[in-house]
Amino acid sequence: MKEDLIIAIDGFSSTGKSSMSKIIAKNLNYTHIDSGAMYRAVTLYAFQHHYIVDKKIDVDGLVEHINDIKIEFVQDPTSQKNITYLNGENVEQEIRTMKISKMVSPISEIPAVRDYCVALQQKMGENGRIVMDGRDIGTTVFPDADIKIFVTASPEIRAKRRFLEYQQQGKDISMDEVLKNVKERDYIDSHREYSPLRKADDAIEVDNSELNLEETVNKVMEIILSRK
């Protein structure tokens, strides 16, 4: 029985992929890699260096300096969670803002950005024993992953979940704005020419519209343990 599995968890935004993947990785004593955090970090870098101005992206400028971007995940000894570092700086909170959410999909469309992040993801997972979540893990990053899960839920339910998160964080954002962002990201992610979001032919779909986080984790764990 193979133990050094690569587990790919793909799906739409706000399906709870990362939260679920972190718990599953902990249950299996595997490493969790949040690929979406990488694209968010690149988006933050683009803002910091003025490659995004008034929602317009200076693609040439960003691509020219793509190799200046260094992304690392450092495990917090207290929470045991991976913290995203951009060029040596803890940016975990900064990359989770609506400002970043609004521009991360257009940034992710850029082929050079995807090439950079995919290469980094493949390097991190080359020894297996990982749970990696994202949009194209089972189709592009690890097409031969041992187990592939595709998570989905209705846009309205996903928007409500994200809206409640923002409320808990004290952020003043309307439900309509969150739903609009969710739908825009769905469209961009699914229709981009380069490595679009899609369910791999051999992925198992999990619709968690009616499932909470614990129930989703349990369902996915059952799938994993039945395949090991």
- Mean pLDDT score, 136-162: 96
Closest CA to 131 of 35, 1, 13, 223: 35
Give percent above pLDDT 90 in the chain: 82
pLDDT of 1 > 60? The answer is no
Residue 2: the pLDDT is 63
Residue 126: the pLDDT is 87
Amino acid letter, 5: L
Residue 228: the pLDDT is 65
Confidence of residue 53 (pLDDT cuts 50, 70, 90): very high
Identify whether the C-beta of residue 135 lies closer than 8 Å to the C-beta of residue 197: yes
Kindly report, residue by residue over 83-105, the tens digit of the pLDDT: 999 999 999 999 999 999 999 99
pTM (two decimals): 0.86
pLDDT of 60 > 70? The answer is yes
pLDDT of 79 > 80? The answer is no
125 beta partners: none
Give dist(CA 6, CA 13) in Å, integer. 21
> CB-based contacts of 114: which residues, under 8 Å, 6+ apart?
108, 136, 140, 194, 195
- Mean pLDDT score, 57-62: 98
- Gap between the terminal Cα atoms of the chain: 7
Averaged confidence pLDDT in the chain? 93
pLDDT of 80 > 80? The answer is no
